[in-house]
Amino acid sequence: MPITTVKPGEKIKLKDIDTSDTGGFKDKHEAKKLLAQNIKRMAELQNVLYAEGKHALLIVLQAIDAGGKDGTIRKIMSGVNPQGVHVTSFKKPTEEELSHDFLWRIHKAVPSRGMIGIFNRSHYEDVLIVRVHNLVPKKVWQERYDHINNFEQLLTDSGVTVLKFYLHISKKEQKERFQARLDKPHKRWKFNVGDLSERTLWDDYMQAFEAVFAQCSSKAAPWHIVPADKKWYRNLVISETIVKTLEGLDLKYPAPAEGLDDIVIE
């Protein structure tokens, strides 16, 4: 599948990656069966992850506005046990959060062992929107790349597997999704006029994302760039990656207590 996994230090040009790529699949009907298998398998693996309690999985989702983060979570995680998953959406920092270092609110939301955590936006906002809008001096956000790498290495060393996905859509696709929010009454609540102002900064955001990939794709926590114009293909690629990652952890149910074969329940 044409998912781009960024090598450490590799410089990526997003314009060179096809946002509408479907990896040879003709349409969603072809991929539907595979997606269903992945969702089922993910549920099985999550059960073992929770029971074993040795590992945690952190899924980081980043995208431009209307990139599909919410839809990805809703579809991909449709088969798992909600008790074993925690989703955190990072909005504009509160006064309390701003009074601490930028990773303070992030670290608190990291999943504990046995759990799957999902970040809808993440610590990367502090080198994306902060950079594009000049919210802090350049020297400050530049130093954050190293802080982020060290933070993710700490998580990895502590048993947290970090999966980072950038949902790559085209500017044309974003326009169509914004228009759909305007045209469909049940979607209008999602339309934010401020998103149109952000849209004018498209090129600045692409440069900021490219810097993130070059600076913060490590062996321990690489970035995966997913063609996301086609939602069904985005879901298939991400579910496939999650399943392979969980299978790679060699999860096992804990050994049962001794003497259970001799127990008789009357």
Question: Where are the chain's structural domains?
Answer: 4-252
Q: What is the pLDDT of residue 1?
A: 59
Q: Which residues pair with residue 119 across a beta bridge?
A: 60, 88
Quickly state the pLDDT bin for 262 (edges 50, 70, 90): confident
How far apart CA 146 and CA 54 sit, in angstroms, is 27
For domain 4-252, give the CATH superfamily.
P-loop containing nucleotide triphosphate hydrolases (3.40.50.300)
Specify the pLDDT at position 86. 97
- pLDDT computed for residue 219 by the predictor: 93
**Averaged pLDDT, 154-173:** 98
Average pLDDT over residues 213-242: 97
CA 75 to CA 242: how far, in whole Å?
13
Higher-confidence residue: 261 or 135?
A: 135
Is the pLDDT score of 94 beyond 80? yes
Residue 228 has pLDDT above 90, yes or no: yes
CA dist., res. 76 & res. 229, Å (int): 16
**Mean pLDDT (the chain, rounded):** 96
**Residue 179: pLDDT above 90?**
yes
Averaged over 187-194, what is the pLDDT?
90
Q: Please, which residues have CB within 8 angstroms of residue 190's CB and are 6 or more apart in sequence? A: 181
